[in-house]
């Protein structure tokens, strides 16, 4: 006699097989990379993040993960991967994978913020040269299998020498930040904002579209990566009067440099277009 509980067994077994197949599908490698007689795989985890695995060992994971390239450093193969949260204008970190002197495969995730520089392979290792914002200072770092990450120098932001108001109109300005690469405009911004404030202001131009020209005014606006609508910046350069106007969302209001009473009517008109919804 077959009891009702026995009749349920095929269904239970079928459900278990289905779950096992789904779990196997979730762990299935999306990409396989041959590295120094090993196989590194990239898989998608249950939470949607992507993981970089060596066998069952996780070397790194994030919402975006991928293979960059295999290079040689001091005649030793080194695999480079990228890991990132995603989002506007955010650079990924670099996962470095190599075989240590003891024969074990090792990994290092270099960089943990939006300004992480991309790796560049040089004669003396893998170099990370930062992209600087106006007013910023940051270290240049070098990686080798024996020494790991070391600071090899410091970079200080500098505008393009020999540029001035007379070169603004003819310059190729594809991004609002390009205006601050001009020596005269950078000096004017530095004088108004001060050394402690100019980088925070420039960060507000990080995510932006191409500037526009209205008469003698070149203007552009942007926002901080992952914080659009929170610390947006506006820049206006008047090539006729050779005046610079700056504004940024701060503490629930919009600050202006110079003060509002010193803005021209045309510059104020652009400010009025920028201001709605930002204060």
Is the peptide bond between 167 and the residue preceding it cis, with omega within 30 degrees of 0? no
Q: What is the CA radius of gyration of the chain?
A: 26
Query: What is each CA distance from 16 to 7, 20, 22, 72, 244, in whole angstroms?
Result: 15, 6, 10, 46, 69
Instruction: Judge whether 270 and 236 are in contact, CB under 8 Å.
Output: yes
Domains of the chain, CATH where assigned: 30-156 (no CATH), 165-274 (3.40.1420.10)
pLDDT, tens digit only, all 279 positions of the chain: 333 333 333 333 343 443 343 444 445 668 999 999 999 999 999 999 999 999 999 999 999 999 999 999 999 999 999 999 876 557 899 999 999 999 999 999 998 667 789 999 988 899 999 989 999 999 999 999 999 999 999 999 999 999 999 999 767 799 999 999 999 999 999 999 999 999 999 999 999 989 999 999 999 999 998 788 889 999 999 999 999 999 999 888 999 999 999 999 999 999 999 998 776
Alpha helices in the chain (DSSP H): 4-27, 165-168, 183-193, 198-203, 265-274
Long-range contacts, 44-52 (Cβ 8 Å, 24+): 52/81, 52/83, 52/95
CA neighbor of 143 nearest in space, from 164, 161, 119, 165: 119
């Amino acid at each position: 006699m077959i009891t009702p509980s026995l009749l349920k067994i095929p269904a239970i077994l079928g459900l278990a097989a289905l779950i096992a197949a789904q779990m196997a599908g979730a762990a299935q490698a999306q990409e396989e990379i041959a590295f120094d007689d090993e196989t590194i795989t990239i898989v998608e985890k249950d939470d949607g993040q992507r993981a970089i695995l060596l066998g069952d060992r996780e070397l790194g994971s994030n919402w975006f993960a991928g293979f960059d390239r295999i290079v040689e450093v001091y005649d030793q193969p080194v695999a480079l991967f990228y890991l990132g949260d995603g989002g506007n204008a955010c650079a990924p970190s670099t996962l470095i994978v190599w075989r240590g002197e003891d024969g074990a495969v090792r990994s290092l995730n270099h960089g943990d913020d939006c300004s992480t520089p991309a790796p560049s392979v040089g004669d003396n290792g893998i170099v990370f040269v930062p992209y600087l914002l106006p007013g910023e200072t940051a270290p240049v770092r070098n990686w080798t299998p024996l020494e790991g990450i070391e600071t090899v120098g410091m970079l200080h932001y500098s505008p393009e020498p020999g540029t001035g108001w007379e070169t603004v109109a003819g310059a190729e300005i594809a991004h609002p930040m390009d205006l601050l690469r001009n020596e005269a405009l950078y000096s004017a911004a530095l004088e108004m904002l001060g050394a402690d404030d100019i980088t925070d202001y420039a960060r507000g131009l990080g995510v932006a579209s191409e500037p526009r020209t209205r008469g003698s005014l070149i203007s552009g606006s942007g926002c901080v990566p992952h914080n659009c609508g929170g610390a947006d910046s506006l820049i206006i350069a008047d090539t006729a009067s050779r005046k610079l106007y700056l504004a940024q969302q701060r503490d629930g209001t919009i600050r202006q440099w110079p003060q509002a009473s010193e803005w021209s009517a045309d510059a104020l008109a652009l400010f009025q277009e920028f201001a709605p919804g930002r204060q």
